[in-house]
Amino acid sequence: MIAEVSCTHLDSFLEKIERRSLTAGIVGLGYVGLPLTRLFTSQGFRVLGFDIDAKKTEMLMAGESYIRHIPSSEVAEMRRDDRLLATTDFASICQADTLSICVPTPLDKFRQPDLTAIRETAEALTPHLRPGQLVILESTTYPGTTTEVVLPILRRSGLKLGEELFVGYSPEREDPANPHFTARTIPKVVGANDPTSRRALESFYKACFDQIVPVSSCEAAEMAKILENIYRCVNIALVNEMKLLCQRMGLNIWEIVDAAKTKPFGFQAFYPGPGLGGHCIPIDPYYLSWKAREFDFTTRFIELAGEVNTNMPYEVVTRVAEQLNTRGISTNSARLLILGLAYKKNVDDCRESPSIKILKLLAERGFDLRYFDPHVKGYRSHRYGALAGIELDELTDEALLQSDATLILTDHDAFDYERIVRLSPLVFDTRNATRNVAEHREKITLA
């Protein structure tokens, strides 16, 4: 009898995928959830989006976007024929056939995993779950989160896992503003801990992605995501440390990396910067290190990489202050213009951006600060509150001329670097953004 019930729920679920009559629920409509919404609607599925931020749901229902790389015209297209409905009412959870959880997983003030959003989301879903639904955790987290944190909460629904309720893990792989990949073309890792959940998850994502990569369990999928990001973290830490050495030796680290990457095998280029940003790479090493302690294992190599990257904003501030002092400009009176708040070029995402930390450190040293980012307006840090300094509405000639120095922290394509170098008395470049500027190079210091 149990097998018949399980088969009935799974067969009904698979039939909805085949007929494109399935309603995909997405919980958390941010930088992961909204691109996933775009993908699901483009594949013919109706999407029911949930977010605790009423402003987001209101904007989506009005056909407006709040993420730069997803234009409002695309949101309006998603809203056509009510293919996208967005709400703050979690009682509507029962109307969705799938529930993709795309909520933040930050660190707390002690740099330990903060799973508050995941727990609260699971608790909000549980009273409204019904037989035949698939719950997918997409948030980046440590191995064991789905099994140890999410499942115990979902079991309160009384639904039998693998028979009435399907649960899996599939880590997000968003790369905002990358023109070479879309959500559909990036291979999707999927994992579940029982055969029925695995089949439901694989069948749904096969209908949405060009390629899925099945692994044996939720834990394996969670660890794969952590490994991806720690790989980047460790290699960025290596090149950041190399940058500091090259500065002492009078060498250009970007020139050296570009030369090394001409080797057709055995080398992948990573570039230094003012620190790590984004929602994954600065955080994931600490998630795994925290979990490893449960197994009496110390991830010394990973923790060292985290320390190197965490220290980079301090190194940038120190270098700027020292270079200004050699020119007789005191940090207590120096007027510094900051260009770029976002954690990477051509996006409006400031999560864990090193620019925010650097602004704070510069303010503590007494700098008179102005800052400008063409993609970010009115940003307020969750950790530090209002940003130090004065935000500019536009990058005027006057702002460049009246500053003692300009500090480039994000290499947006929208910046005219020749103009910036021409008008600024000094330029500190943390991204090698000025590499193609031919004139006035004596003004530029790679920081």
Q: How do the domains of the chain map onto residue ranges?
A: 2-216, 231-446
The architecture in CATH of the region 231-446 reads 3-Layer(aba) Sandwich (3.40)
If residue 338 lies in a helix (H) or strand (E), which one and from where to where?
A: strand 335-339
Q: State residue 25 phi and psi, 5-degree precision.
A: -95, 140
Give the DSSP letter string of 375-386.
T--S-EETTTEE
Of 102, 218, 233, 280, the active-site residue reads 280
pLDDT attached to residue 185? 93
pLDDT attached to residue 3? 43
pLDDT attached to residue 143? 97
CATH of domain 2-216: 3.40.50.720
Per-position b or e across 52-69, b if 16+ CB within 10 A of its CB: beeebbebbbebebbbbb
Tell me if domain 2-216 and domain 231-446 are identical in fold. Answer: yes
Query: Quick one: CA torsion of 27, 28, 32, 35, rounded to 10 degrees?
Result: 70
> Apex CA 389: angle with CA 383 and CA 392, to 5°?
110
Q: In the structure encoding, which two tokens stand for residue 294, read together?
A: 């449960």
Which residue reads 């109706």 in tokens? 46
Nearest Cα neighbor of 112 from 299, 283, 351 is 283
Q: Which residues pair with 98 in a beta bridge?
A: 24, 134
| Global confidence as pTM | 0.90
Amino acid at 97: D
Q: In the structure encoding, which two tokens stand for residue 301, read together?
A: 């190599």
Q: Does residue 280 have an active-site annotation?
A: yes
Amino acid at 57: T
pLDDT attached to residue 7? 63
pLDDT attached to residue 385? 87
Q: Reduce the DSSP state of residue 173 to 3 states and report it.
A: coil
Can you give the pLDDT of all 447 residues of the chain as single tens digits? 344 444 689 999 999 999 999 999 999 999 999 999 999 999 999 999 999 999 999 999 999 999 988 999 999 999 999 999 999 999 999 999 999 999 999 888 888 899 999 999 999 999 999 999 999 999 999 999 999 999 999 999 999 999 999 999 999 998 777 778 888 899 999 999 999 999 999 999 999 999 999 999 999 999 999 999 999 999 999 999 999 999 999 999 999 999 999 999 999 999 999 998 877 778 888 899 999 999 999 999 999 999 999 999 999 999 999 999 999 998 888 999 999 999 999 999 999 899 999 999 999 999 999 999 999 999 998 888 889 999 999 999 999 999 999 999 999 999 999 999 999 999 999 999 999 999 999 999 999
The answer to whether residues 88 and 50 touch, using CB atoms and an 8 Å cutoff, is yes
